[in-house]
Amino acid sequence: MEKIFPKPLKKGDKIAIISPAGSVEPTQLEKGIEMIKSKGYEPVLGENLYTKFSNGYNYAGTETERLKDMNWALNDNEISAVWASRGGYGCQHLLESLNLKEFSKNPKWYIGYSDNTVIQSYLLKKGFASIHGQTIKTSSFGVTEESYDLLFDILKGKKPNYSLKSYQFNKKGNVQGELIGGNLALVYALLGTKYSFDFKDKILFIEDIGENFYALDRMIMSLELAGVFNKIKGLIVGGMTNMGDEKENKQYEESFDEFAYKLISDRISKYDFPVIFGFPNGHIKDNRPLIIGAEIKVKVEDKVKIEF
């Protein structure tokens, strides 16, 4: 299927801000909203952006309320991009009732990461690219200015290219293919459903936060048992933050967790595709955007290059 890329934004265009998953406080979005204005765009706040609904988790409203904001943002022809306030949990609730009637006629960028991975998988199944990048809410670890600048470059029509240092667990090789993936927990959660990514001949990106090492291994094992590693052409591993038992494994609290990387590396050692570790995207400060659905060229040698 030919992938559809939304048209570039121009100054004055409206960007909808919605909360499809976890709840947020107004103070947590102030800086991001002002940044959108400073770049020359008009932020438009979803009706339930700051709504709260507690049901075993603090959601940004009921499923009906969150779905209302999502379908409004996707289909309102005055909106040129949709930017998630945060992730958390809750996007899966919306999948069965998403409406792309007007969106299909006037595609727009959807921006987010973490739990938003399921929305991006849904859009890709329909043929639309999206941006796996920083949400409006800046987490406790902060966000670099360059991460946001690169995201705005994509909105303006520019595609990123990345050069990285080599990492000890990298597996060398050159490959070209379509980029898929996002948060590992959500890639894993969608396995076996009609909303799962199509892994055939794709380059898979994964990142995660706050998982015990056995849970990480379980997710990687599930991907293996589902045949994912027999299908993909390459793997890119981003941030693995606060993994393991934090009380016993303080040495593993870096954004690029060495033990988590070794665990993944060991599991995929029998497969013959290029692998990049340490890509700056995920629940980390240096969260540089990726375009899900874009064709990329990956070169993994002494230095690493990714070209969109």
Active-site residues, by number, are: 114, 207, 283
Cβ neighbours of 89 (radius 10 Å): 16
DSSP-assigned states of every residue in 260-293? HHHHHHHHTTTS-S-EEE--S-SSSSS---EEET
Distance CA 155, CA 159 (A): 9
Distance of CA 257 to the CA centre of its chain: 19
